Chains A and B, each alone.
Chain A
């Protein structure tokens, strides 16, 4: 399937790599696509990679390109069609793209790209206003079971991680996820106002977004979606409270389809080296991101499972027609 000159090129690259060892890695000139406008999470991840790849000496130069549109649907289409077989390109993606592609009936899917590695993740939280009668996750579960339509959840865009989480919460506690009353807001700011103003029952978002308000006592955190309690935090997990809801908003990096196993190895090694570098660790600390490095086949496996899980949830809430 691979054109012969590309195969030849791959062989030459492999030869060069084999011949000159680590010095050859220095010659990497990468292009990283952020399938979003400058400033968002994917863009920041791409620019952080750029910084760390160069600072740790893994690559000689890294160029970040932005292709914005429709939760990454525009970017991935361009990536899959335009970068096919190119062993010097990467694209940042994440949880939200899985849902966006399914909802937009994108002709291009994440099954087509070559998985490289998961890089970061953010734990999700459910909050209520400080004066809410709901004190624990079990209280919320009881309210959801009593009359699901009356419990309003505020969160980010329809089909995004917050929406999926609302549906998973309802499903896990034994209510009909199809009937959740989820109200999407654009960005954390607007939904935060709705929660603080008591317009909705509960709010869902990434933990860092609401951390300031939780510490200031304006919001009460009912639970976080991590497997174990976060270090230094007094917010209980859902699991501790008997609700099996584990979820993270992950970000990862993928390569184009049609690259050779050698090219894949080169890219995987480069990303792994970057993810273990001090430069990357510094950036993570600075941005408050959690290290969630997962490489190789383990990540490919994880990605497959997440696609199935998210698509099932979106089907159950009627956002994706089966």
Chain B
């Protein structure tokens, strides 16, 4: 069937009033759970599964997709306003977004993230409709050695980006890598650095670390400074909406973010974190306003936000075409398909085109709904910042604690949150960047297991890393990114000498 005709047919399915209602419920729930740290879209879909099994499959799958997209939106709101990323995918957003909010530019930050998410979500959904079969072919051929090379690119670009001194950035990164070693080793099943505590066997939870470092650490730091200088927060300075300048600086990062998010999201082990961080470092390099980075640069919000929404659409590519779930939420949606006796995979497009195209069409609608739902709320959200600081930060602490308990009700988890909070405070006090710790925790274990898998498959021959063209190219990029700053510096000195 012609893609256009199929999509039009899908549109007709999606605009049925009941399906519109399901989409609305989905995006609303998704936004709500995205705001709460700890309760992610995966958990929500899991809890809704038994409730929805009596509904018709189309409607409830549309609702699940709405939750997924909504979660990506909601997570960014708390990241920007109170520096508490609701999902690990919103971590990069918090870096510049919260700085903008503190400088009275919370409105434009929320707006660029909402519009950027819409733009990216729409482009990526178009990509899903037209490129899915081709992209999935590429994704399947992406082997362990290619993932490892991709991780190398991420490590190099990301660690070079953060912090004013590379040593401080690397120190933070290595703390994260060390934390990433905790738990059961995926390849041999042996426990590492767990000290006999069963809760540690599954490793350090990313959201616990992020919320501890970002939110709790920040609250402690603000409390410690209170007697020195009272920082006055202005909720709105200048325009509440995006100015012409903001638009001009946002549209390219949106597009670039989409280009990172969609293909990496489609990779079976891609995820949403890597593209957001890659997008952040790219924007930081390309910006014409480098002085603003670290103080609230709009590019640093626009790019990652576009990237995380595009990756959500990317995740649906292998899910629908192969039945491959590549994120926790996608895995839950797969369970949703199966409860109706549907098996996503090569046959689903042929067997149930109404369902698949209805789902894709409703993604467009969900995207539009999210924009309508979120833009008017911007004015309301930024008022949060007008709350007196002691109340606001006390609220953040309660919020962070509740989120952690909701995700994992255990004393060990709470103690970890507190310990990471103190660590975040000390790192702020002594000027160490925080983001690389989280990046180390996310990427370290992936890089390690992919490298070991690649070597196990090649029977220990390291040349496998160079024999795959993809991996060789990516490693080359990593090497260039690593050496370029030194070479450029050297060339600059050379030129200066000539003068």
Residues of A within 8 A of B (CB): 38-39, 43-44, 47, 51, 68-70, 73-74, 77, 99, 103-106, 149-150, 152, 157-159, 181, 183-187, 189-190, 192-194, 196-197, 199-200, 208, 211-213, 215-216, 218, 286-288, 319
Instruction: Select B189's contact among A187, A189, A213, A319, beta carbons within 8 Å.
Output: A319
Contact flag A193-B140 (CB < 8 Å), given A74-B198, A158-B186, A213-B346 = yes
List, in ascending order, chain A residues with CB within 8 A of B191's CB: 104-105
- Is there contact, CB below 8 Å, between A103 and B189? yes
Nearest CB of B to A212, in Å: 3
- When each residue 199-227 of chain B gets 1 if its CB lies under 8 Å from chain A and 0 otherwise, what string results? 10110000000000000000000000000
Q: Are A211 and B343 in contact (CB-based, < 8 A)?
A: yes
Question: Cβ of B339: which chain A residues have Cβ within 8 Å of it?
Answer: 286-287
Q: Which residues of the partner chain A approach B338 to less than 8 Å between Cβ atoms?
A: 208, 287-288
One of A158, A187, A200 near B187 (C-beta < 8 A):
A158
Q: Other than the known A39-B328, A74-B198, A158-B186, what 9 A-B pairs have Cβ atoms closer than 8 Å?
A: A38-B46, A70-B202, A73-B198, A104-B198, A183-B187, A196-B322, A197-B141, A199-B144, A212-B348
Residues of A within 8 A of B141 (CB): 197
Asked whether A73 lies within 8 Å of B189 as measured between CB atoms, the reply is: no
Between-chain CB contacts (< 8 Å), 24 pairs: A68-B202, A103-B184, A104-B191, A152-B456, A158-B186, A159-B189, A181-B457, A183-B457, A187-B325, A190-B324, A190-B326, A192-B268, A193-B139, A193-B324, A199-B143, A200-B457, A208-B338, A212-B344, A212-B345, A218-B346, A286-B53, A287-B338, A287-B339, A288-B338
B405: interface (CB < 8 Å): no
A44: chain B residues at CB < 8 Å are 335
Question: 1/0 per residue B137-153: CB within 8 Å of A?
Answer: 00111111000000000
Residue contact A157 to B268, C-beta cutoff 8 Å = no
Give the shortest distance, in Å, between B252 (CB) and chain A (any CB). Answer: 32
Which A residues lie within 8 Å of B332 (CB)? 39
With contacts A73-B198, A152-B456 taken as known, whether A157 is within 8 angstroms of B189 at the C-beta atoms is yes
Residues from chain A with a CB closer than 8 A to the CB of B46 are 38-39, 43
Contacts of A319 in B (CB 8 A): 188-190
Chain B: interface residue total (CB-CB under 8 A): 52
Closest Cβ–Cβ distance, residue A161 to chain B (whole Å): 13
B350 closest partner in A (C-beta):
A216
Contacts of A185 in B (CB 8 A): 453
Find out whether the CB atom of B139 lies under 8 angstroms from the CB atom of A150: no
Chain A's closest residue to B268 (CB) is A193
Assess whether B341 is interfacial by the CB under 8 Å rule: yes
Assess the B184–A70 pair: CB atoms within 8 A: yes
- Bound-state CA distance A181–B187 (Å) is 11
B323 part of interface (Cβ distance < 8 Å)? yes
CA A69 to CA B190, docked complex, whole Å: 15
Asked if B331 and A197 make an inter-chain contact with CB atoms under 8 angstroms apart, the answer reads no
B202 touches A69 (CB 8 A): yes
Q: How far is the CB of A104 from chain B (nearest CB, A)?
A: 6
Residues B272-326 near A (CB distance < 8 A)? 318, 322-326
A68–B187 Cα gap in the complex (Å)?
Answer: 20
Closest to A211 in B: B343
Chain B: which residue is nearest A212 at the CB level?
B345
Interface flags, B45-72, vs A, CB<8A=1, else 0 = 1110110010000000000000000000
Judging by beta carbons under 8 Å apart, are A70 and B198 in contact?
Answer: yes
Which B residue sits closest to A147, measured CB to CB? B459
Residue in A closest to B457 when the chains form the complex, CB atoms: A152
Q: Quick one: given A70-B184, A103-B189, A186-B186, are A193 and B318 in contact (CB under 8 Å)? A: yes
Q: How far is the CB of B148 from chain A (nearest CB, A)?
A: 13
Contacting pair B459 A197 (CB below 8 A):
no
A181 contacts B456, C-beta separation under 8 Å: yes
Docked complex Cα distance between A158 and B201 (Å): 14
Bound form: Cα–Cα A31–B345 in Å: 37
Judged by a CB distance under 8 angstroms, whether B32 is at the interface is no
Please state if A183 and B456 are interface contacts (CB–CB under 8 Å). Answer: yes
Q: Least Cβ distance of B119 to chain A in Å? A: 28
In Å, the complex CA distance between A104 and B190 comes to 7
Residues of B within 8 A of A104 (CB): 184, 191, 198, 201
Q: Which 8 A-B pairs have the closest CB atoms?
A: A212-B345, A158-B189, A70-B201, A38-B46, A39-B46, A216-B346, A193-B268, A189-B324
Contacts of A192 in B (CB 8 A): 268, 322-324
